[in-house]
């Protein structure tokens, strides 16, 4: 199957665009800019051939958290009251603020998933080094992403082992103690695994830097893609604040 346009695009261009997009959306309070920012996120999804079901699945954890924001911010923000829930009052300003937080958070994560999700973690780490991000920070991000899934699998093995031994989670002291033991065991195993991985890397000649055998080369399509969307984002900011 042929790769999508964004899959073939230079990761450095995508990282810069994702950072600019997130910066603009996070700092603006202009509704016109947020509406205009919907267009690049949508078109990047098309160019990435990203399945909507997969996109919604990745956005779901964020929206569980944002649901709490939507429920609490209107009740805790002072302003013109809309309705009352007992002693609590939901304000109009709080509703607007909660809506802004919800829309901006989803927009930023949506664009980031679509842009960076079309490149491998190895390509992104390489691109970050090209962009002169500190080497230790790049390695920290790389190893965190690389081994999160490993820790998750280890957690599931420990949890299944506890269930096979008859553990039934309840709201009692035995459950809390078991969960504490499970968390401690996971931390100890993660620490031991990190030592084994580090020793294995040293045996393979690791000196604190990852050798790079294939460098990126900026092509005309990468330059055109970055220049067009960079100009678009700059234009919507200028127009948004001029009107």
pLDDT of residue 23: 92
Six-digit token pair at 114? 């679509």
> Which residue has 């993660």 as its token pair?
190
Q: What's the whole-model pTM score?
A: 0.79
With CA atoms as reference, report the closest residue to 109 among 177, 58, 164: 58
- DSSP conformation letters of 94-157: HHHHHHHHHHHHHHHHHHHHHHHTTS-HHHHHHHHHHTT--HHHHHHHHHHHHHHHHHHHHHHH
Six-digit token pair at 80? 């013109």
**Running along the chain, 243 residues long, what does each successive block of 10 average in pLDDT?**
75 91 89 89 88 86 85 78 73 83 91 88 82 83 81 86 85 86 87 85 77 75 90 87 66
pLDDT of residue 237: 86
Six-digit token pair at 156? 């599931």
Give me the residue spans of the domains in the chain: 5-127+218-242, 135-203
pLDDT of residue 21: 93
pLDDT of residue 1: 43
pLDDT of residue 20: 92
Q: How many alpha carbons lie under 13 Å from residue 126 in its C-beta half-sphere?
A: 14
Cβ-Cβ contacts under 8 Å for 70 (sequence gap 6 or more): 98, 102
Task: Report the DSSP beta bridge partners of residue 84.
Answer: 89
């Amino acid at each position: 199957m042929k790769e999508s346009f964004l899959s073939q695009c230079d990761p450095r261009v995508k990282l810069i665009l994702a950072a600019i997009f997130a910066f603009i959306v996070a700092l603006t309070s202009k509704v016109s800019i947020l509406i205009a920012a919907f267009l690049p996120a949508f078109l990047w999804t098309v160019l990435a051939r990203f399945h909507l079901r997969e996109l919604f699945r990745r956005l779901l954890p964020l929206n569980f958290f944002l649901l709490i924001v939507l429920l609490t911010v209107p009740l805790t923000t002072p302003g013109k009251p809309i309705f009352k829930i007992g002693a609590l009052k939901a304000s109009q300003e709080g509703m607007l603020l909660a809506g802004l937080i919800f829309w901006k958070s989803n927009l930023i994560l949506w664009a980031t998933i679509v842009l960076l999700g079309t490149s491998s973690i190895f390509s992104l780490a390489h691109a970050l080094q090209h962009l002169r991000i500190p080497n230790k920070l790049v390695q920290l991000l790389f190893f965190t992403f690389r081994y999160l899934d490993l820790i998750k699998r280890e957690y599931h093995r420990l949890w299944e082992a506890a269930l096979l031994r008859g553990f039934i989670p309840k709201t009692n002291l035995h459950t809390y103690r078991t969960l504490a033991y499970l968390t401690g065991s996971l931390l100890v195993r993660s620490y031991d695994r990190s030592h084994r991985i580090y020793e294995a890397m040293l045996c393979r000649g690791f000196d604190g830097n990852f050798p790079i055998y294939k460098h990126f080369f900026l092509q005309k399509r990468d330059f055109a893609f970055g220049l067009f969307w960079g100009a678009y984002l700059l234009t919507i900011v200028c127009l948004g604040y001029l009107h």
